[in-house]
Structure 1
Amino acid sequence: MFKPEPLAVQSASRTHVGLVRPINEDRVFDCPARGLWAVADGMGGHSGGDLAAQAVIDALRAQVDGDAPIDQAAMLAAIHTANAAIVRDNRSRSTDAGSTVVAAQITDRTATIAWVGDSRAYLIRDRTVRQISRDHSFVQDLIDAGLLTVAAAANHPRANVVTRALGIAEHVDIATVTIDLERGDRLLLCSDGLSRSLETDAMRQRVDLDRLVGLLMADALRRDGSDNISLVCVAID
């Protein structure tokens, strides 16, 4: 039976403290050699949001540094490991830090997206942009209930409230979706510091990845910049 060759991938990433926050609580993970990428957005400020996000990256790095294949199970195991580490750290320091995460794992021609919280994943295909993830947030629940429009959500007083995050409880429900990939696809993973001011026209630009992530970062800083901003873009060639 004919088996198509695996698709080649390349990626680029950026993270920026933004124009207001004193520290960067975001972290990115960019490992095309092992087909694994992530953005973690820490919460807690001086209580250790940066440490929570770093725990996510450390758990993912431990997976790729090992000898076992990187697949969906490995990605989810790393996220659960990070959750447990953040919970332990919170208890030892009497803090309440947490982190959102969005991660992507690619095997052959399939991508699995996993997320907790409101960090997002988008698929860009044939100049069409589609949000793959669904926010675990207060305003998303209102939208789903028909009580709030998408346009009004950005200005809601509780727009930054997430309903699910790592480090809050010993067990965390990780949402996942699997998609088939095509040549020319691009995946964008980002924190809400980017998504809250993201323009689809900017995402559709057919420029090289380094230039694209630079343009998206500059655009987010120009439009808002009130939060940390992080993104990873993966191109399927």
Structure 2
Amino acid sequence: MSACGISDAGRVRKNNEDKLLIARLASIAKTAPPARAVTFEASHPVLLAVSDGMGGAAAGEIASALVVEALRRAMASARGDWDDATRTAVERANREVWRASRQPGRHGMGATLTAICVHGAEAHIAEVGDSRAYLIRSGQIRQITHDQSFVQVLLDAGVIRPEEAEQHPMRSVLLQAMGLGPNVKASVARLELRRGDRLLLCSDGLSNKIPADELLAIIDAGPSLAAACKRLVALANERGGEDNITALIAELRGEGLTPPVKGESMTQTLHTVTEFEPDTKI
């Protein structure tokens, strides 16, 4: 597996509250430097994560940094059932951030989290908030997370159309985030990987500016993971850059992975483990 990620403050905000993580889950974690691709062998699980912080002053930066580091530590000690380990690691990371948020000056500190643990021929996906993950396979792209936001509830209920969601006054309202309370209801899914799969994790500073078809075109154009990441961030900035922008792309290769199966849809290889059910009803 090769992976690369870039995080940028954007054109408006002075600080960057996004954090990304690319790490091998071993006793000594190998982490990718910014804007450079790193390649991993299949001998150890690899953790990919994007977190978008929130809170006054520097609290958002602290929250997202705590989230990805707490998750890395929790996943590094995981054993056995990886579905359960992923969910448990998110819950442990949430409690750590929640405890930190109770310190003076950190009230309301929180962060989104979207993480993927690649282990053998499977990827275990966890989501809290609205940072997204996409799967690119056989020339197609599909969002494999589901935004945990008020606007998404409206979309699911058919109250608003997708084009209305982009300008909705409550488009930034999340239904949950890491660190806002002692418990979270993480969405967890398991993906059967195919040779040549690419995974994109991103904050809403990217997904709000670039639709899925353009994401696919830019990543397909390459010519490298680093070049694709740079182009995605640059385009989001060209379109306003009002928010922090993070893009992380991973590509899966190797003879140990099954090639894409003719006629097999991406949804056939994506299995829900635990689903977030919002308390908000329309």
TM-score normalized with structure 1 length: 0.90
In the other structure, the counterpart of 1:110 is 122
Structure 1: how far apart are the matches of 2:87 and 2:233? 28
Structure 1 alignment gaps of length 5 or more = 1-8
Amino-acid identity (%): 37
TM-score normalized with structure 2 length: 0.76
In the other structure, the counterpart of 1:55 is 66
Choose which of 4, 11, 14 in structure 1 pairs with 2:3.
11
Contact persistence 2:116–2:123 (CA under 8 A):
yes
Structure 2: how far apart are the matches of 1:39 and 1:159? 20
Q: Using CA pairs below 8 Å that are at least 6 residues apart, which structure has the higher relative contact order?
A: 1
Structure 1: how far apart are the matches of 2:167 and 2:88? 35
How do 1:214-229 residues align onto structure 2 when only pairs under 5 Å count? 214-229=230-245
More helix by share: 1
In the other structure, the counterpart of 2:46 is 35
Aligned residues: 229
Structure 2: how far apart are the matches of 1:202 and 1:102? 18
2:168 alignment partner, SS class: coil
Structure 1: how far apart are the matches of 2:164 and 2:110? 26
Structure 2: how far apart are the matches of 1:120 and 1:20? 22
Structure 1: how far apart are the matches of 2:78 and 2:200? 27
AA aligned opposite 1:180: E
RMSD: 1.9
Structure 2: how far apart are the matches of 1:39 and 1:107? 18
In the other structure, the counterpart of 2:228 is 212
2:10 alignment partner, SS class: coil
Structure 1: how far apart are the matches of 2:180 and 2:77? 28
In the other structure, the counterpart of 1:188 is 200
Choose which of 8, 15, 23 in structure 2 pairs with 1:23.
15
Shift, 1:58, TM fit: 1.4
Shift, 1:120, TM fit: 0.4
Structure 2 alignment gaps of length 5 or more = 25-39, 254-282
How do 1:1-237 residues align onto structure 2 when only pairs under 5 Å count? 9-32=1-24, 33=40, 34-46=45-57, 48-63=59-74, 71-93=82-104, 95-199=107-211, 200-204=213-217, 205-207=220-222, 208-237=224-253
2:103 alignment partner, SS class: helix
**Residues 83-133 of structure 1: CA deviation (Å, up to 9, x unaligned):** 112211222226111100000011111111110000000011112110110
AA aligned opposite 1:213: C
Contact persistence 1:47–1:96 (CA under 8 A):
no
Structure 2: how far apart are the matches of 1:67 and 1:136? 26
Structure 1: how far apart are the matches of 2:215 and 2:174? 26
2:190 alignment partner, SS class: strand
1:21 alignment partner, SS class: coil
Q: Residue 131 and residue 142 in structure 1: after superposition, are their counterparts in 2 closer, same or farther (change >3 A)?
A: same
1:92 alignment partner, SS class: coil
Shift, 1:206, TM fit: 4.1
